[in-house]
Amino acid sequence: MIVKPREKPLHLLKLEALDGRLAGDHPMKELVNQHLSNRMAGYKGEQSIDYFLSFLGEKEYHIFHSLRLYDGTNFFQIDTLLASYRHILILEVKRIAGILQFEPEFNQFIRITEDNKMEPYADPIVQAERQKFQLIKWLRKNNTFDIPVETLVVSTSPKAVLQSLSHDKTVQEKVIHKETLPFKIAELGARHSVNLLNEPQLLKLSRSLLHSHTPLNTDILNLYKILKNEIRTGVRCPDCSHLPMVRERGKWRCSACKRTNKTAHLQALKDYSLLIGPQITNKEAREFLHIPSQPAAKRILKEACADCKGEKRRRVYLI
């Protein structure tokens, strides 16, 4: 049972919005685009395990995607967590191509590229074990149940070759290709054969995990030292991505592809919320959407926004 569905992380949505509203010659454009590509690759890698998780029994596992918890000292992020009556399983998902060499004796993880370059990465086995340590700390802090926690590193790239540089069996036990995920989960289930939780207890644990989830909400402009006036404003064409569109007779017209759209402003308001903030005034909306008319901006905001507060000039709309 999927308790927390997989959704695009908030930070990824912010990177998408920022990348689309930086000019091509902006000094931070290349770095933002690179970070966006890396995050998107990671998200697609996480998505690719969903098919294999669909083989699991509906009632046997409670599945949480992109779970971020606080252990009392630090926040920690888990790609996918599976909670069952017998144990908890943490999945650390990696989408990295090339020859992937694990050296557990030194906690090293190295990627060898097609041109034989060696690139060191953080060891995902260690990452998963750290998440396990923090999750156990969270379980104790929240007075939940004493239950074993297992970890797996799941490689999702079809161009990944896994290698172990030692006779230590840790790599073979902890690192798998995504295709073998259902079988490895079944193996772990057989190893933990005794039910430690009953149904009400598992439901209580699931509710506690879901309630404790705290999404990362970064001030993306501050992170990259980008000023608000460096963001390109206007409504983007959903067909050709031209910016800005022109408001004419209740529609948005693209001066590039000549197509029209009635709701293109919704994505622009979403971009504003992600980059600047979830509240917007009529004046700010007119400036950001390029609408000269105050009544027209008011109509758009009343239809598009969830709520508003304040009166007249002090009114702000909640995107």
pLDDT in tens, 1-34: 999 999 999 999 999 999 999 999 999 999 999 9
What is the span of the domain harbouring residue 25?
2-212
Helix orientation angle between 265-275 and 294-304, rounded to the nearest 10 degrees: 80
Section 59-85 average pLDDT:
96
CA distances from 292 to 42, 67, 248, 316 (A): 41, 43, 11, 18
Is there a single domain that holds both residue 263 and residue 128? Answer: no
Instruction: Answer yes or no: pTM beyond 0.75.
Output: yes
Are residues 139 and 179 part of one domain?
A: yes
Is 127 found in the same domain as 7? yes
Confidence of residue 106 (pLDDT cuts 50, 70, 90): confident
**The pLDDT of residue 57:** 86
What SS3 state is found at 139? helix
Q: Who contacts 303 (Cβ-Cβ below 8 Å, separation ≥6)? A: none
Averaged pLDDT of the chain: 93
Residue 126 CB neighbour total at 10 angstroms: 15
Percent of the chain's residues with pLDDT above 70: 100
- pLDDT, tens digit, 9 for 90 and up, residues 168-218: 788 999 999 999 999 999 999 999 999 999 999 999 999 999 999 999 999
Domain boundary among 162, 183, 212: 212
CA angle centred on 164, ends 163 and 165, rounded to 5°: 120
Domain count, the chain: 2
Predicted confidence (pLDDT) per residue in 134-172, tens digit: 999 999 998 777 899 999 999 999 999 999 888 778 899
